[in-house]
Amino acid sequence: MQLRIENSIIHQFYSHDDQVGLRLAPEALAEDEQLHELLEELTQVYTNKPAKGYASFLTEADDAERGPFPDFMQQWHANEIQFVDFSQQAAKLLLEQLQNHNMLEAGFLLITRYQHLSTDYLLVAFLPVKEGVSINPNLAVNKSSQLDISKVQLAARINLTDWETEADSERYISFIKGRAGRKVSDFFLDFLGCTERLNSKSQTQTLIEAVNEYGKAAELEPQQRQSLNAVAYEYCDQQWKQGEDVNVKDLSEHFSQAQPSERSFDDFSREYAQQREAELPDEFPADKSTLRKLVKFQGQGGGVSVGFDHTQLGERINYDAATDTLTIHGTPPNLRDQLRRYFGIDS
């Protein structure tokens, strides 16, 4: 990934006596190989996060109080304040949020402006730390703190190009969504003064339902419907990997080539969404975790977790709706080995 770094700085947050403190960096980081490696790793981790939300800054039309971060960013972008001053103001603002939410998080706030593929970005990320060990020059073992980039959960990327040229856009900010039931990302949005506008998970779910209903309406055989789902998954997954939106019209063209029909999926999906008062835009970013439902059945509850590919239904796996019974013919080798050991059966 070729990144052109414009500005970058790191501020430290530390915990002491049940309090969180802030150590401000007095100047921006020098651009060197280590910084490039850090940013390339971070942007790769960020891109690969399966669950993201999409937001924009709060406006007067929103029934919520907007924090000062957008104003600080505007002043910096207009060259009214320096990047270091902007970043320090942002760090102080994050400190207030951490204190207000009683979060004793130790880590580093990274703020970076960079360009990639002619697009200008501002990346704001809280980098957690993990304790490790290292070997010093005297070959002794020392404790050391290391950045835990793979565990980043508080991060947002502002598309400065879209923010500047498309002020009415509702998705020039993307952010990592926390795990189900967690609201950690909410306070980070408060810190940034923005709100989630686009629910990619919901829109992806509507698309999946439309694909399933399209196959039924066309009276396709189960194997043909599975093939249709596979085409949808392959296209949407490829778009996700490339950081591109799913385009319903393009997907409809893929369906026409794979499974010709009198009615296009584009027309069907519009009517389907309208009938159910669901949101399905012409283009939207797919949610990676939701996409798997196109090709895989999975669920858990009551101490049982089950998952299998659509292609196995009717082959190795049968479902009896009358008795709500799932029959599996041939268990996975690792599960079979565990069961045989449990019952004392010789392999």
3-state secondary structure 21-37: EEECCCCCCCCCHHHHH
| 4 C-beta neighbours (distance < 10 Å), count | 12
The pLDDT score that the predictor gives to residue 179 is 58
> Would you state the structure tokens that stand for residue 222, as one six-digit string?
């189960």
The pLDDT score that the predictor gives to residue 265 is 94
Q: Are residues 85 and 144 in the same domain?
A: yes
Q: Please, what's the b/e burial string for 193-220 (b: 16 or more CB within 10 A of its CB; e: otherwise)?
A: bbbbebebbebbbbbbbbbbebbeebeb
> Would you state the structure tokens that stand for residue 6, as one six-digit string?
């414009």
CA dist 321 and 299 (Å) reads 16
The residue type found at 57 is: F
CA dist 116 and 242 (Å) reads 13
Q: Are residues 187 and 206 in the same domain?
A: no
Q: Are residues 219 and 286 in the same domain?
A: yes
- Residue 334 is part of which domain span? 298-342
Please state the domain count of the chain: 3
CB 155 within 8 A of CB 176: yes
Using the 3D structure, point to which of 198, 216, 232 is the last residue of a domain: 198
| 98 C-beta neighbours (distance < 10 Å), count | 20
307: left (phi over 0), alpha (psi -120 to 50) or beta: beta
Q: Are residues 65 and 179 in the same domain?
A: yes
Lookup result for tokens 């043909």 = 224
pLDDT, one tens digit per residue, over 290-308 is 999 999 999 999 899 999 9
Helix axes 265-275, 200-217, angle to 10 degrees: 110
Q: What ranges in the chain are assigned the alpha helix state H?
A: 33-48, 69-77, 83-100, 160-165, 184-192, 200-217, 222-241, 248-258, 265-275, 288-291, 333-342
Q: Are residues 139 and 165 in the same domain?
A: yes
Q: Are residues 279 and 178 in the same domain?
A: no
Residue 347 domain-assigned? no
| 18 C-beta neighbours (distance < 10 Å), count | 7
Residue 41 domain-assigned? yes
Q: Are residues 35 and 179 in the same domain?
A: yes
Q: Are residues 313 and 237 in the same domain?
A: no
**Which residues lie across from 57 on neighbouring strands?**
194
The pLDDT score that the predictor gives to residue 55 is 92
Q: Are residues 66 and 164 in the same domain?
A: yes
Q: Are residues 262 and 286 in the same domain?
A: yes
Find how far residue 169's CA is from the centre of its chain. Answer: 19
Using the 3D structure, point to which of 198, 233, 262 is the last residue of a domain: 198
The pLDDT score that the predictor gives to residue 181 is 43
In the DSSP assignment, the letter for residue 199 is -
CB 160 within 8 A of CB 111: no
Q: Are residues 337 and 229 in the same domain?
A: no
CA dist 177 and 87 (Å) reads 23
159 CB-near residues (< 8 Å, 6+ apart)? 119, 120, 121, 172, 173, 174
Residue 94 domain-assigned? yes
Q: Are residues 109 and 60 in the same domain?
A: yes
pTM comes to 0.79
Q: Give the residue from 205, 175, 209 showing the smallest Cα distance to 51.
A: 175
3-state helix, strand, coil in the chain (%, to 5): 40, 30, 30
CA dist 308 and 326 (Å) reads 12
Residue 226 domain-assigned? yes
Residue 280 domain-assigned? yes
Phi, psi of 10 (to 5 degrees): -130, 130
The pLDDT score that the predictor gives to residue 170 is 85
Residue 265 domain-assigned? yes
Using the 3D structure, point to which of 182, 198, 214 is the last residue of a domain: 198
Residue 108 domain-assigned? yes
**Which residues lie across from 107 on neighbouring strands?**
13, 128
Residue 47 domain-assigned? yes
User: Tens-digit pLDDT profile for the chain (347 aa)?
Assistant: 678 999 999 999 998 887 889 999 999 999 999 999 999 999 999 988 888 889 999 988 887 788 899 999 999 999 999 999 999 999 999 999 888 877 777 899 999 999 988 899 999 999 998 888 878 788 888 887 788 899 999 999 999 999 999 878 888 999 998 654 446 678 889 999 999 888 888 899 999 999 999 999 988 888 899 999 999 999 999 998 888 899 999 999 999 998 888 899 999 999 999 898 888 889 999 988 899 999 999 999 989 999 999 999 888 999 999 999 999 999 999 999 999 999 988 75
The pLDDT score that the predictor gives to residue 180 is 45
The pLDDT score that the predictor gives to residue 1 is 60
